[in-house]
Amino acid sequence: MAKLKMKLVSIYAPKGQSDAILNRLQQMAVMDIETAFSDEETSYLPKGYKYEDRDESFRAYERNEHTAEEALKILSERFPEKGGLLSFLKSPEALKLNEFYLDAAAENDMLTLAQSILDRERAIAEQKAEIMRQSAACEQLIPWSDLDVPLDFEGTAHTRAFIGTVTGSFTLEELSADIAERDPSVTAHCEIIYAGKDLTYIFVCTPVGDGEKAEKALRELGFARPITLTSILPREEIELKRKKIEECGADIEKSIGEIKALSKRRGELKLYADLCRAKSESYKTAGEIARTDSTVLIRGYIAERDVRFLTKNLEKDFTVVIETEDADEKLAPVKLKNNAFAAPAESITKMYSLPSSEDIDPTPLTGFFYYLLFGMMFSDAGYGLIMVIATAIALKKLKPSSPMRNTVKMFLYCGISTVCWGLFFGSFFGDSISVISETFFGRRITLPAVIDPMNGGATNMLILSLAIGMVQIIAGLGAKFVTCMKNGDKAAAFFDAGLWITTLVGVSVAAIGIFTVKTVTVVGAAITILSLIGLVLTQGRAYKNPILRLLMGVKSLYDITGYVSDLLSFSRLMALGLTTAAMGAVFNLLGTLLGNGIAGVCLMVVMFTLGHAISFLLNVLGAYVHTLRLQYVELFSKFYSGGGREFKSFSIKNKYVGIEGDIGEEN
């Protein structure tokens, strides 16, 4: 239940065994390997060892991984895999280790498969582009479909032909008149092929001798020849293009069918993508380790508990010399190890920051209070029961992978806490038991509650919220006490943490005495006063001047306002708990508006289902966010600095398939 102690390990081996050793280390997943690109200080290298340029051999696997991923993306877009709403939780199919590593022939087959999918998708894109080109050409030719000569027709031995468009909309009479107006000497035969809104498609024929004059007159009308010239009749060209469009469509359907057939091998592609990812990482690391002409040095961090496991596995099959030394805590990465109850809360710690070398692991404390406070904010046994059932089914049926499994477990524990708090407050889908029993059965049945916040218990709920807040604040100061003792600062432990703990304990005891025996109040007040005097005398200990030391001690009492502010923040426990109960009660009330008839039953079913679904979603989000806030601000601020570097094991980081037979960690 803490940070694992780290060792710095150096593995010396023959250069020829480096790839095999790295593969084994990748399978064991217990070492965070340092490379030339992650370690700026290289003075530790023994004589003769140096970092070489990065080995480029891994790039081929990077390219192949990209090819496989692109092929999988195409399959996903065209033929999505069928999966339920919670399929993202499901762990990938597990293979044995010897099934994961393919031989060269199988790898080539997988690469060919991926390339085939990409080639067909590329062909589809080309055919679609061709359809667009042919369609655009057809659109340009359609106005010319009634023309009885090809568009590239320029006349005969005795005539000049002008085929094109003029700006504006003309009738035959208007066109002939405009040409004659510009040059009366021109003899022209005109035809209107198509009259559009902005353009008129024309055919004009003149004697050869009038060609230049006719062309000049037409230019003044904005004459322009067609963009696409054809050597056959426009209607025939249109028909050819439409046939081409049909052929392209058929080719597209054929390619889609071929991709569909190949999609049956999606699982093989997933395996290949993961294999390429693992091998590219392995080759990349191989190109970044220190080496001489004949040996290599693989150096990195490993948890102390895994040293024996590492040594046993490598010495059994390889010629290696393994040296270990205590790691510098300030430089070493952080690896957490917690029990089954606390481990799901590691994600909360990591979301904030991993502990530094001077911190303790806050996860056990964080986990306990997160589950506790989440349940109090959500505070409905019905909602909690839904969470418990849903997460239990997910864990049992879907078997999610490790990171997701911890998240699901966290919400399972939050759900259990919610059920307990819901029963404590007498809330099961709000006051549904009372409302339904009274409306539809004529007899009011009430779920017993220790504190009923909706019926006069709000004050008691506020007091309970502040009491829990005081416990968390004191727990945070207790963690500060432990942290200071761990770092050898006993003065800070007793004076900076211990005296504030006794101060807050004294205040709590005095508050309890108000509701019990006055003697208890006196005892609490005495503890508080003595603690405050201790703070005045010790908080300025860094100063030599006794007057300044005393003034700084008095000034430190101002921190009380911070603790009061922190304590008041816990009133949100009451606020969110009341919100959950109130929303549930409102939806239950709305469900009774039509009485106890058939219409009333239907309305109750609708309002109960829809209303509580809305209430569940809104309040679970509020509980999640505000509980995080109480951990990060009101708890972590008391003892935690963070800033640790995460332990990133050199491992097979699969995306699609799991591995049953990987060596794994010893513990």
- What CA–CA distance (Å, rounded) separates 594 from 430? 19
- Tokens standing for residue 314: 């490598």
The Cα–Cα gap between 63 and 446 comes to 66
**Which phi and psi angles does 159 have, rounded to 5°?**
-130, 160
* DSSP E strand stretches across 342-433: none
Would residue 283 count as lying in a domain? no
Interatomic CA distance for residues 410 and 346, integer angstroms: 10
pLDDT confidence of residue 553: 87
Looking at the predicted structure, is the pLDDT value of residue 499 above 90?
yes
Position 39 scores a pLDDT of: 47
CA 76, CA 91: separation in Å to the nearest integer? 18
Neighbouring residues of 459: CB distance < 8 A, sequence distance ≥ 6: none
pLDDT at 665: 54
pLDDT in tens, 358-377: 999 999 999 999 999 999 99
428 and 575, same structural domain? yes
Residue 457 domain-assigned? yes
The answer to whether 353 and 412 are in contact (CB under 8 A) is no
41 pLDDT more than 50: no
Judged by DSSP in three states, 6 sits in: strand
Q: Check whether residue 474 and residue 612 sit in a common domain.
A: yes
Domain match, 221 and 349 both: no
Q: Which pLDDT score is estimated for 252? A: 96
Query: What is the CATH number for 201?
Result: 3.30.70.2750
In our burial notation (b when 16+ CB lie closer than 10 A, e otherwise), range 442-454 reads eeeeebebebbbb
pTM higher than 0.85, yes or no?
no
Q: How many Å apart are CA 219 and CA 198, to the nearest integer?
A: 16
pLDDT in tens, 342-363: 999 999 999 999 999 999 999 9
- Write the pLDDT tens digit of every residue in 321-334: 999 999 988 889 99
Residue 320 has pLDDT above 80, yes or no: yes
For the chain, what is the domain count?
Answer: 2
* Terminal alpha carbon distance of the chain: 14
Per-chain mean pLDDT for the chain:
90
- Domain membership flag for residue 83: no
Average of per-residue pLDDT across 554-573? 93
pLDDT surpasses 80 at 58: no
- Rounded to an integer, the average pLDDT of 114-125 is 96
For residue 237, being part of any structural domain is answered with: no
> Is a pLDDT exceeding 90 seen at residue 36?
no
Q: Which residues are within 8 A (CB) of 250 and not within 5 positions of it... i.e. 6 or more apart?
A: none
* pLDDT for position 86: 57
Give the C-alpha separation, 477 to 489, whole Å.
Answer: 15
* More confident call, 127 vs 400: 127
The answer to whether 188 touches 206, Cβ cutoff 8 Å, is yes
DSSP per-residue letters across 551-577: HHHHHHTTHHHHHHHHHHHTHHHHHHH
Going by pLDDT thresholds of 50, 70 and 90, the confidence category of residue 94 is confident
Who wins on pLDDT, 44 or 137? 137
Please say if the pLDDT value at position 315 is more than 70: yes
pLDDT score for 99? 80
CB count, 10 Å around CB of 250?
11
Which residues share a beta bridge with 303?
A: 6
Q: How far is CA 509 from the centre of its chain?
A: 46
User: Is residue 545's pLDDT more than 70?
Assistant: yes
How much of the chain, in percent, has pLDDT values that exceed 70?
A: 94
Q: Of the residues 225, 254, 277, which one is the last residue of a structural domain?
A: 225
Judge whether residue 536 has pLDDT over 70. yes
Nearest CA to 240 out of 250, 230, 226 is that of 230
What number is the average pLDDT over the span 233-239?
A: 94
**pLDDT of 196:** 87
CB 541 within 8 A of CB 495: yes
CA 203/CA 175 separation, integer angstroms: 11
Asked whether residue 255 carries a pLDDT value surpassing 70, the answer given is: yes
Query: What band does 91 get if pLDDT is binned at 50, 70 and 90?
Result: low
Mean pLDDT along residues 28-51: 69
Contact 662, 96 (CB under 8 A): no
Same domain? 449 vs 579? yes
The mean pLDDT of 264-270, rounded to a whole number, is 92
Q: How far apart are CA 523 and CA 507, in angstroms?
A: 10
Residue 463 lies in a domain: yes
- For the beta carbon of residue 110, count every other beta carbon within 10 angstroms: 23
Asked whether the beta carbons of 377 and 627 are under 8 A apart, the reply is yes
CA–CA distances in Å: residue 495 to residues 442, 483, 529: 63, 13, 15
Residue 652 lies in a domain: no
Best CA proximity match to 623, nearest among 430, 429, 373: 373
Q: Is 154 helix (H, G, I), strand (E, B) or coil?
A: coil
What residue numbers bound the domain in which 168 lies? 152-225
In sequence order, what are the residues at sequence separation of 6 or more whose Cβ sits closer than 8 angstroms to the Cβ of residue 163? Answer: 144, 147, 149, 151, 153, 202, 203, 225, 226
Which pLDDT value is given to residue 37? 46
CA 667, CA 665: separation in Å to the nearest integer?
A: 5
Q: What is the per-residue pLDDT across 143-171, written as a single tens digit (0 to 9) for each? A: 999 999 999 999 999 999 999 999 999 99
Backbone angles phi, psi at 11, to 5 degrees: -115, 115
The residue out of 209, 225, 241 marking a domain boundary is 225
Three-state SS string across 599-610, please?
HHHHHHHHHHHH
Give the confidence band of 35 by pLDDT, cuts at 50, 70, 90. low
- For the chain, what's the residue count? 667
Q: Is residue 449 part of a domain?
A: yes
Q: In this predicted structure, what is the pLDDT of residue 422?
A: 96
Contact 577, 376 (CB under 8 A): yes
Cα separation of 213 and 183, whole Å?
Answer: 7
- Same domain? 381 vs 528: yes
Enter the tokens of residue 589. 């009330």
Q: How many helices (H) and strands (E) does the chain have?
A: 23, 12
Phi and psi dihedrals of 196, rounded to 5?
A: -100, -175
205 — pLDDT class (breaks 50, 70, 90): very high
**CA angle 450–451–454, rounded 5-degree value:** 140
If phi > 0 it is left, if psi is from -120 to 50 it is alpha, else beta; for residue 427 that is beta
User: Measured between alpha carbons, how far is 664 from 26 in angstroms, rounded to an integer?
Assistant: 9
What is the maximum span of the chain, computed from C-alpha positions, in angstroms?
A: 129
- Final residue belonging to a domain, choices 165, 197, 225: 225
Q: pLDDT, tens digit, for every residue of 376-422?
A: 999 999 999 999 999 999 888 888 877 888 999 999 999 999 999 99
Residue located via tokens 């094109």? 164
Residue 222 is predicted with a pLDDT of 92
Long-range contacts of 240-248 (CB under 8 A, 24+ apart): 241/134, 241/135, 241/137, 241/138, 241/141, 242/134, 242/138, 244/130, 244/134, 245/131, 245/134, 245/135, 245/138, 248/127, 248/128, 248/130, 248/131, 248/134
Neighbours of 624 (CB within 10 A): 16
- 244: CB partners within 8 A, 6+ apart: 130, 134
460 domain-assigned: yes
- Beta-carbon contacts of 167 under 8 Å, excluding residues fewer than 6 positions away, are 198, 199, 221, 222
**In this structure, what are the phi and psi dihedrals at residue 83, rounded to the nearest 5 degrees?**
-160, 155
